[in-house]
Amino acid sequence: MPAEFNAADAEPSSTEYSVAWIAYALQATGVFGFLLGPLVGLVISYVRRDVAGAGYLASHHRWLIRTVWWTALGYLACLAVIFFGAWPIISEIFREAIRTGGQAQEFSFGIAWHSIFATVGAAMLGGLGIVVVWIWNLYRIMRGGFLLADRSPAP
């Protein structure tokens, strides 16, 4: 065996290759709004990333794991922007509901213009962020899939 042989250079089995494709397919279901598929793909990637004989497929499983967590963090950050932008209006509604004791006949409140502008601005910023995260997630899945099809390691 040559001295420059690396275990990552070994060709993985067809089973490991198929498992990697399944993990990518499950991750891709998240692009369409499904949550269970990416979670199952995440579990598969965690289990298979250190399997002996995985070769370059270990890099793909690490790629998918990072993709899932960074995507989740991005979505949570965007939702936090939307929520905190809407907080002035939400808090005013709660304050009025508590004041009236839940009686719908007496329920009235005023919303300041700056609260409306803050809410609309935060909703637009958060919505734009969600679109950017969605595109980034799609890019990561497609790039990894193309690299897997070429039998190349993921970055």
Please tell me the predicted confidence (pLDDT) of residue 5.
37
Q: Are 154 and 63 in contact (CB under 8 A)?
A: yes
* Residue 2 pLDDT level (bands cut at 50, 70, 90): very low
Please tell me the predicted confidence (pLDDT) of residue 88.
81
Q: What is the mean pLDDT of residues 126-144?
A: 97
* Residue 107 pLDDT level (bands cut at 50, 70, 90): low
For residue range 40-70, list pLDDT tens digits in order.
Answer: 999 999 999 888 888 899 999 999 999 999 9
Give me the residue label for tokens 């370059």.
56
Q: What is the mean pLDDT of residues 124-128?
A: 94
For residue range 8-32, list pLDDT tens digits in order.
Answer: 556 888 888 999 999 999 999 999 9
Q: Which of 21, 24, 60, 65 is nearest to 42 (CA)?
A: 65
Please tell me the predicted confidence (pLDDT) of residue 104.
61
- The b-or-e profile of 72-101 (16+ CB within 10 A means b, else e) is bebbeebeebbeebbebbeeeeeeeeeeee
CA distance 46 to 53: 15
* Residue 108 pLDDT level (bands cut at 50, 70, 90): low
Across 74-78, 100-104, 113-117, least confident range: 100-104
Please tell me the predicted confidence (pLDDT) of residue 138.
97
Q: pLDDT > 70: what percent of the chain?
A: 88
Please tell me the predicted confidence (pLDDT) of residue 42.
95
